[in-house]
A and B are shown apart, each in its own frame.
Chain A
């Protein structure tokens, strides 16, 4: 089991390393949010530009982690279009190890992206003390693992590389917009505050915001509990897909199928 997870993680990271320039390109989106959107909206909000940038830094970090983790999961869909995934499936690796390996590898890739973004914190008006950096890294790790689990749980149900990004955007963007990443949840309309309670991204970003600003919207224990619960449920869902004996064929199939 551990050996299988290790093998999948090494496999994915080796391939990630080939595409490492993507880390630089991946910086563009969060920096745009932080310094363009942030400057524009901040100037017209009651918070003021500097405070607003500081406020949305954890939010853009969340956005960056969310998108890099999901992008990592897309390798599952790519591999299935060629025969590569079949070669993995006929190896004597327990199916849960494949799912967990993919999740861990995706989380590491998201973390790598996040760690590159972290030094921009002081520029965004959020200089971090050493203890805050440790807290932030812990929150980022939780967020990366959760987002990667979401990505894998989705990706293993898709066989089309053209459909998966469209569907994942349709799911990820609402999750991000509802999370309070770009505005304080406590000032949001009531229905959005209710919705945020069902949004794992909201808990993850709240943990990171707590590390940067020292104030939380959700109780920390609730956030951690919600993230662990999300992970547990989605790992179970992903493993179930990888486990179905008969569907081993579906997992390696090249036939076009919009959903599975």
Chain B
């Protein structure tokens, strides 16, 4: 979580990514319904939303794999439809699905990608060694990709995306299927790449992953519902969250409503948002007509932001 705030689009220069009034429909299904956003150079930007929100569609358009239905999208100032090849030369992409050849070694995988990007055989081999060393995975150079662990494979995917030393790195749900530890290691590595000056644009539906980013766009049903730094987004919720566990939630909820609060049912606890939760808690506990078993005050997380804006949780796949 970096406090710096590099390259807000207003700071001049062409943004790394610029999306204007972008829509995409598959037949009658509208995957994107007018998306606007700009990502500054060197910024680490997260697109966070539940499955089916339109993340992968937006990602594919930026990756030059799909055309928008209307609106424009530019990467490094170039149009994603009309200027595909220049964009392809300057971007590296990690897909959700594995995109390495399982039967080839780590080195061969990278070397072949280098060839596709116009390097000579010798140049491609040298570049493969360089990236493996840079990511600290030289030990997998001679191992077949199918023998690698999930985390190593994802690192090899990252290495593949870095073959041409791209200015912009796109990652689509890049840690799908990894355990928590492997995910942490992976994002630390990506954060390092961003700190070294690369622009990183990634999609995720894990909020803790999005917190690594400088700025986050929350996407839901094809629209951006909020955009800002993790801190700014959380202050949107205003104050903090009180969560209570009582012996009789129904009575407690009714009583809270009478008192003018708006409790929501956060799983097995009653939660309510308040500007100054610590100040109201003692009073609540004293006056509540039912016994409170457990009381907690916490700062809002991105999940709370998402619930506040859409009325739904992130992990529920966008369903109410």
Contact = CB atoms under 8 A, between A and B. Distances in A.
B310 interface: no
Interface string B104-116: 1000100011011
Given A18-B104, A82-B97, A82-B98, A245 B116 contact: no
Range for the number of chain A residues in contact with chain B: 20 to 34
A240 B64 CA distance: 18
Contacts of A84: 98-101
B99 A83 contact: yes
Binding site secondary structure of chain A: helix
B41 interface: no
A92 B60 contact: no
Interface string A1-18: 001101110110011001
A19 B84 CA distance: 34
Contacts of B113: 87, 91
Interface in A6-56: 6-8, 10-11, 14-15, 18-19
Contacts of B67: 245-246
B89 interface: yes
A91 B88 contact: yes
A200 B96 CA distance: 41
A215 interface: no
B115 A83 contact: no
B88 A92 contact: yes
Nearest to B26: A249
Contacts of A8: 116
A90 B169 CA distance: 13
B66 interface: yes
A86 B104 contact: no
B210 interface: no
A95 to B, nearest CB: 10
B93 A90 contact: yes
Interface residues of B, number: 32
A254 interface: yes
Contacts of B112: 7, 10-11, 14
B67 to A, nearest CB: 5
B81 interface: yes
Given A10-B115, A87-B99, A87-B113, A92 B65 contact: no
B95 interface: yes
Contacts of B65: 86, 89-90, 248-249, 252
Contacts of B276: none
B116 A7 contact: yes
B261 interface: no
A14 B117 contact: no
A82 B116 contact: no
A48 B224 CA distance: 78
Residue from the set A14, A84, A91 with the largest chain B CB neighbour count within 10 Å: A91
Given A15-B103, A82-B97, A82-B98, A90 B63 contact: yes
A88 interface: yes
A213 interface: no
Contacts of B104: 14-15, 18
Residue from the set B64, B65, B66 with the largest chain A CB neighbour count within 10 Å: B65
A10 B101 CA distance: 13
Interface string B11-36: 00000000000000000000000000
B223 interface: no
B99 A82 contact: yes
B160 interface: yes
B118 interface: yes
Contacts of A4: 116
Contacts of A15: 101, 103-104
Contacts of B91: 90
Nearest to B100: A84
Nearest to B89: A92
A93 to B, nearest CB: 6
Given A18-B103, A246-B66, A88 B116 contact: yes
List 4 tightest A-B contacts by C-beta distance, closest first: A83-B97, A83-B99, A7-B115, A87-B99
7 contacts: A15-B103, A86-B93, A87-B95, A90-B93, A92-B88, A93-B116, A249-B66
